[in-house]
Amino acid sequence: MNLIAGGESLSSVLEAIVQAVEAEDPAIVCSILLLDAEGRHLLMGAAPSLPDAYNQAIHGIEIGAAVGSCGTAAFLKRRVVVEDIQADPLWAGFRDLAAEAGLAACWSQPILAVDDTVMGTFAIYQRQVRAPNEEDIAFIEAAAELAAIAIDRRRAEEALAASEARAHEAAENARDTARNLSTFFDVSLDMLCIRDMQGRFVKLSQAWETVLGYSIEALQDTPLLPLLHPDDVDATRAYMAQADATGEVRGFVNRYRHADGSYRQLEWRARRSGDLVFAVARDVTERLKVEAEMAAAHAAAKAANQAKSDFLANMSHEIRTPLNGVIGVAAALGQGDLNPAQREMVDLIQGSGETLERLVSDILDVSKIEAGQLTLHARAFDLAPTLKGLFDLTRMRAEEKGLAFLVEGEDVARGVFLGDAVRIGQVLGNLLSNAVKFTDRGEVVARIDLEEPGEGAVPRLILEVQDTGVGFDPAQGEMIFQRFSQADATITRRFGGSGLGLSISKTLVEMMGGEIWAESLPGGGSLFRAALPLPRVQDSAAKTTPAPDESPDELGETLRVLLAEDHPVNQKVVQLLLEPYRARITVVENGALAIEAFRNGVYDLVLMDMQMPVMDGLAATRAIRDLEAAGVRTPIIMLSANAMASHRQDSVLAGADLHVAKPITAAALIAGIGQVMSLGQRRAG
């Protein structure tokens, strides 16, 4: 016991216990084996009188229900007495080992801790076959108890020493952490702080003084809530409670009062640890100000863009409405018998009106390009008729100026292709129109070619327009595809135009995946070339929509037409345009009257203005479709000065069969009527 109390090592104490027991009876040999931390193997504790070979063989043996005396005692947690090692099955695997060590009997007692767990075994070996008597049993129990006391005491001391070492290490770590934390607080640009559960500052970084203007000493140990903007107190209390309850807060922004009375906006992240909350704040006042300014600027730009779009749409409507009267009346006059002087004046009116209409369309196209609303509509179409109409029109205009107009390669364009025929025609039309406009003498040549690179590759349509006009130098050439740009200011005064055509053409070509460029010399004419990828469609598979071939004289019997139009001039235009075709026209001034007339009459066709008082054309069209229900569908054409794509889509969604933009020409109106009447016949069939 003195050894146990004296602080000797456990191995020395256990060896002393073994030697003391062996001294009581020189005929015995003892051993103490210790169970490892996993509780599965026995390790050598003390056996000074046993051969080293035996001890080495026993060290690390796994305990079990039949593993000698010690392995079995540790496994069963009870004393195991083997009187004859050579005869007992528990020693079947260790008989030779025991014989070599001169051991004949073994009595093993488990060493139990105060919590009744096995710590090891105490064994007494006899060199003769022998059973223990009561005195022997008491002796071995006392020896095992003494070993248990020694092991328990030593392990308790070791645990205490380890605990003290850990406490010492923790204290050192805490001191190091405190030193490091202070350094980190001193150098951090962010506002670091530690608060207690009552909301008082425990520690703050130097950045607090930099941002808010208060000294650290003035803020230390003070509550944080009085620094807040009054409107932010309740929200801050809620987030403090969240940090206290859930342990973390991210992204919360509130306002802290600066020493000068102003407020700074701080964004927070906080996490609770024990009874303290560790937090970092960042001054985001300038960032939020910039974000607010950017948001306001974006909203203003969006509003301005919308206002511009609304203005353009409204101006388009306002310009097209009187223009419809000019072009429509001129077209009606042109259908009559006129002398040469009258014919010249009517043609002048029509030409001027068409020029103005093209200008309005160009401005709308530019607006759609800027808004990203310009879209392409790819359909199967026959290229030759698309180009022929443009060539015929250009030839007529060229002849009026005394110019020669030649077309080369027209035959190569025959066939059905997949693309936006309208936009391709718009590009070529712009190039041809410019060539005629800027050429006073000589010729304009249009060349058509189709590059077919081979199987699997997409063919390219090549459009070339060459003239002998004024030309331009390379510096001016860099500007001609920009909006509102022409070669020089004198061009505008001399030839007119808005300078939008080439810019729009370039955008359209690039949207179609192609390219466009120009070559020219001042006074030596110009060459414009556009290359467009244009897939060919097999003729047998192409399902192109044939253009309605009804001519004005072939519209059939007298049409009963309901015209809903509030503007007197536009009413008269439609009446004049349809007068040669024996149409019976009922005129109403708004959508509500149109519904009433439709309910009480029978009509073959409805011509509906989009913008009218009382009820607009879209609402009236929807109402008429509701009246028809499952009955016969009457064709409806929307006649509108609203020419944007969204307006056309609105017309179709409301139930109209066709949208015809003002100004209305006789050809466009009659073609539209023929188209919807033909569609109606196909539906009926």
* pLDDT single digits (tens) 67-119: 999 999 999 999 999 999 999 999 999 999 999 999 999 999 999 988 889 99
What pLDDT was estimated at residue 83?
A: 95
What pLDDT was estimated at residue 496?
A: 45
Where, residue-wise, is CATH 3.40.50.2300 in the chain?
552-684
What pLDDT was estimated at residue 586?
A: 94
Helix, strand, or coil (residue 380): strand
> Is CATH 3.40.395.10 the classification given to domain 375-533?
no
Where, residue-wise, is CATH 3.30.450.20 in the chain?
188-283
What are the structure tokens assigned to 15, written together? 């060896």
**Distance in angstroms (rounded) separating the CA atoms of residues 657 and 642:** 16
Q: Which amino acid is at 384?
A: A
**Above 60 in pLDDT, residue 552?**
no
**Distance in angstroms (rounded) separating the CA atoms of residues 123 and 92:** 18
Averaged pLDDT for residues 237-258: 88
Q: Which one, of 625, 646, 639, lies nearest residue 672 by Cα?
A: 639
Highest mean pLDDT among 317-321, 322-326, 446-450: 446-450
What pLDDT was estimated at residue 654?
A: 92
Alpha helices in 125-266 (DSSP H): 134-187, 207-212, 216-219, 233-246
Place of tokens 């030409």: 351
CATH class of the region 2-160: alpha beta
For residue 564, what are the β-bridge partners?
588, 608
For residue 204, what are the β-bridge partners?
193
Q: CB of 384 within 8 A of CB of 414?
A: yes
- Which of 226-240, 494-508, 573-587 bottoms out in mean pLDDT, i.e. has the lowest? 494-508
**Distance in angstroms (rounded) separating the CA atoms of residues 191 and 281:** 5
Side-chain-side CA neighbours of residue 553 (13 Å): 0
List pLDDT tens digits, range 352-405: 776 677 667 766 666 667 666 667 778 888 888 778 878 887 888 899 889 999
Higher pLDDT, 666 or 233: 233
What pLDDT was estimated at residue 313?
A: 66
> Model-level pTM greater than 0.75?
no
What pLDDT was estimated at residue 483?
A: 60
Q: What is the overall mean pLDDT for the chain?
A: 83
Higher pLDDT, 81 or 678: 81
Q: What is the largest CA-CA distance in the chain?
A: 156
What pLDDT was estimated at residue 373?
A: 63
Side-chain-side CA neighbours of residue 447 (13 Å): 13
**Above 50 in pLDDT, residue 173?**
yes
538 Cβ contact partners less than 8 Å away, ≥ 6 residues apart:
416
List pLDDT tens digits, range 554-567: 455 688 999 999 98
**Cβ neighbours, 10 Å, residue 272:** 19
% residues pLDDT > 90 (the chain): 40
% residues pLDDT > 70 (the chain): 86
What are the structure tokens assigned to 564, written together? 């809903």
What pLDDT was estimated at residue 507?
A: 87
Tell me how many degrees the CA angle 347-352-354 measures, rounded to the nearest 5: 95
What pLDDT was estimated at residue 550?
A: 43
What pLDDT was estimated at residue 130?
A: 92
**Above 60 in pLDDT, residue 681?**
no
Q: Which one, of 284, 285, 304, lies nearest residue 296 by Cα?
A: 304
Averaged pLDDT for residues 158-168: 82
List pLDDT tens digits, range 10-25: 888 899 989 989 998 8
Q: CB of 233 within 8 A of CB of 223?
A: no
What pLDDT was estimated at residue 490?
A: 43
**Cβ neighbours, 10 Å, residue 74:** 28
Q: CB of 367 within 8 A of CB of 359?
A: no
For residue 123, what are the β-bridge partners?
31, 108
What are the structure tokens assigned to 308, written together? 């511009």
pLDDT range class, residue 144, cuts 50, 70, 90: very high
pLDDT range class, residue 544, cuts 50, 70, 90: very low
What pLDDT was estimated at residue 412?
A: 78
Where, residue-wise, is CATH 3.30.450.40 in the chain?
2-160
**Distance in angstroms (rounded) separating the CA atoms of residues 303 and 294:** 14
Averaged pLDDT for residues 480-503: 57
> Is CATH 3.30.450.20 the classification given to domain 188-283?
yes
What are the structure tokens assigned to 277, written together? 């909350």
Alpha helices in 335-382 (DSSP H): 340-371
**Distance in angstroms (rounded) separating the CA atoms of residues 616 and 3:** 112
Where, residue-wise, is CATH 3.30.565.10 in the chain?
375-533
Q: CB of 70 within 8 A of CB of 108?
A: yes
CATH architecture of 552-684: 3-Layer(aba) Sandwich (3.40)
Place of tokens 């129990």: 141
